[in-house]
Amino acid sequence: MIALHSHPSGRHFLQIPGPTNVPDRVLRAIDNATIDHRGPEFGVLGKSVLAGMKKVFKTEADVVIYPSSGTGAWEAALVNTLSPGDLVLMVETGHFATLWKKMAVKLGLRVEFLEGDWRHGIDAAQIHARLTADKAHEIKAVCAVHNETATGVTSNIAALRQAMDDSGHPALFMVDTISSLGSMDYRHDEWGVDVTVAGSQKGLMLPPGLSFNAISAKALAASGTAALRRSYWDWKEMLAINPSGYFPYTPATNLLYGLHEALEMLFAEGLDHVFARHRRYGEATREAARAWGLDILCKNPDEYSSVLTAVVMPDGHSADAFRKVVLRHFDMSLGQGLSKLSDKVFRIGHLGDMNDLTLCGTLAGVEMGLGIAGVPHRKGGAQAAMDHLAQSSMAALAQAA
């Protein structure tokens, strides 16, 4: 019998949907000596990363960078644009939409939270109907999660913007892209988003610790009359000094080194190629799940996530027990089910710094783990994914020839 060691050889497979694996290039960049954040060298760095983030957001609007988790960027979006008692429209697409809603309530906002089943994205027609019915324009903002990390379900942001436009409603539009930015196509300007929220630890391939707001002119104007109290999160302080590359308080210098390197990697690969790579890995992972005979949590194929897949465990079997088996035997971390989905699903992250062989190793570990844990399934899921990857590679070569 093979002994299981507390210090296994080889690399750990971090296949949760964030934080993701940090590339060696980025780790080496973070390891540079800290510099004077008021000196000329830092100003060059600051201008570079701010300009690079505009490219990722696909915006000409202002972008601010906070030393915080994505939760901080959620708060910044709300407190800079809204006043106590304002009504905000949100949709229950999953765990993180629910957390954003809870934050809004704590900040003194009123929230209308449209119920969801955690298996579908936001219904644009429902948003259109609710905004059309709001003749007094009581709703001040619509908040949406682009890619719900807890469920592997995406919402069509362009369709939501169209619904808002068709209703003629003036509400602000805020979007959480924490698990999609840098991995899935996103267009702040073209889709008419007023505040986009993002974080460093997923598609941007960094450790946790940086968060972002992309800010439209309409949102910036709203910040002039917003009455929610703010200090650390105030856009005004950031935007006053950012054009020179500096920050109003001590920035996370070494994480900004890493961001600069990560942006170089994304632009070298090309954002369109990055998005296509993630779509391909999502397709291969779903091929594996279908071959295993397991249910994919997301019900609508048009809403499948490119960055993670949530797989439903068969009745009577524990997702957490399965995840423990995979970690113990194969040194691989899979995402757990959150809140309503606790112990009911496991999540396979397929985003960030990974390639075909990383995904194949991941899916092989899942399949072997299913067998060891005694979870009913059919064999051949990893092979189905490999076949998909090979066929898509051959198709790409033929197209390029």
pLDDT tens digits, one per residue of 346-358: 999 999 999 999 9
Q: Which percentage of the chain shows pLDDT scores above 90? A: 95
Q: Which residues of 238-257 are buried (b: 16+ CB within 10 A; e: fewer)?
A: bbeebeebbbeeebbbbbbb
Number of Cβ within 10 Å of residue 358's Cβ equals 17
Q: What is the mean pLDDT of residues 136-142?
A: 98
- Domain 270-400 annotated CATH 3.30.420.10: no
The pair of three-digit structure tokens given for residue 92, joined into one six-digit string: 């229950």
Which helix (H) or strand (E) segment holds residue 129: the answer is helix 124-133
29: left (phi > 0), else alpha (psi -120 to 50), else beta? alpha
Tell me the binding residues for substrate.
Answer: 347
Q: Which residues of 168-197 are buried (b: 16+ CB within 10 A; e: fewer)?
A: ebebbbbbbbbbbbbbbbbebeebbbbbbb
Helix (H, G, I), strand (E, B) or coil at 338: coil
Which helix (H) or strand (E) segment holds residue 349: the answer is strand 345-349
Separation between Cα atoms, residue 70 and residue 67, nearest integer Å: 10
Helix (H, G, I), strand (E, B) or coil at 53: helix
**Over the stretch 321-340, which tens digit does the pLDDT of each residue have?**
999 999 999 999 999 999 99
* Short-list 19, 15, 20, CA closest to 353: 20
Separation between Cα atoms, residue 161 and residue 127, nearest integer Å: 10
What's the pLDDT score for residue 5? 52
Backbone angles phi and psi of 356, in degrees to 5? -55, -45
Number of Cβ within 10 Å of residue 208's Cβ equals 15
What's the pLDDT score for residue 251? 97
Say what angle helices 271-292 and 253-269 make with each other, to 10 degrees.
80
Question: Which amino acid is it at 56?
Answer: V
Q: What is the mean pLDDT of residues 21-25?
A: 97
Q: Are 306 and 184 in contact (CB under 8 A)?
A: yes
CA distances from 213 to 67, 137, 282, 291, 382 (A): 12, 25, 27, 40, 39
**Over the stretch 346-397, which tens digit does the pLDDT of each residue have?**
999 999 999 999 999 999 999 999 999 999 999 999 999 999 999 998 877 7
Q: In the CATH scheme, what is the code of domain 24-267?
A: 3.40.640.10
11: left (phi > 0), else alpha (psi -120 to 50), else beta? beta
What's the pLDDT score for residue 9? 86
* Short-list 186, 201, 195, 193, CA closest to 147: 186
Tell me the binding residues.
Answer: 347
Query: What is the distance in angstroms between the CA of the first residue and the CA of the last residue of the chain?
Result: 50
The pair of three-digit structure tokens given for residue 235, joined into one six-digit string: 């856009």
Q: Are 305 and 285 in contact (CB under 8 A)?
A: no
CA distances from 66 to 10, 22, 75, 203 (A): 35, 19, 11, 17
Q: Are 200 and 209 in contact (CB under 8 A)?
A: yes
The residues, ordered by sequence, that sit 6+ positions from 223 with a Cβ below 8 Å of its Cβ are 80, 81, 235, 236
Helix (H, G, I), strand (E, B) or coil at 114: strand
**Over the stretch 185-235, which tens digit does the pLDDT of each residue have?**
999 999 999 999 999 999 999 999 999 999 999 999 999 999 999 999 999
Instruction: Supply the pTM of this predicted model.
Output: 0.96
Is the predicted pLDDT of residue 1 greater than 60, yes or no?
no
Q: Are 246 and 43 in contact (CB under 8 A)?
A: yes
Residues making up the chain, counted from first to last: 401
CA distances from 25 to 54, 259, 262 (A): 22, 11, 8
Separation between Cα atoms, residue 203 and residue 193, nearest integer Å: 20
Every domain of the chain with CATH number 3.40.640.10 lies at 24-267
Backbone angles phi and psi of 167, in degrees to 5? -80, -15
Every domain of the chain with CATH number 3.90.1150.10 lies at 270-400
Q: What is the mean pLDDT of residues 161-178?
A: 98
Is the predicted pLDDT of residue 134 greater than 80, yes or no?
yes
Q: What is the dihedral of CA 64, 70, 73, 77, to 10 degrees?
A: 130
Q: Are 161 and 171 in contact (CB under 8 A)?
A: no
What's the pLDDT score for residue 394? 80
Question: Which segments of 267-325 are extended strands (E)?
Answer: 295-296, 308-312
What's the pLDDT score for residue 31? 97
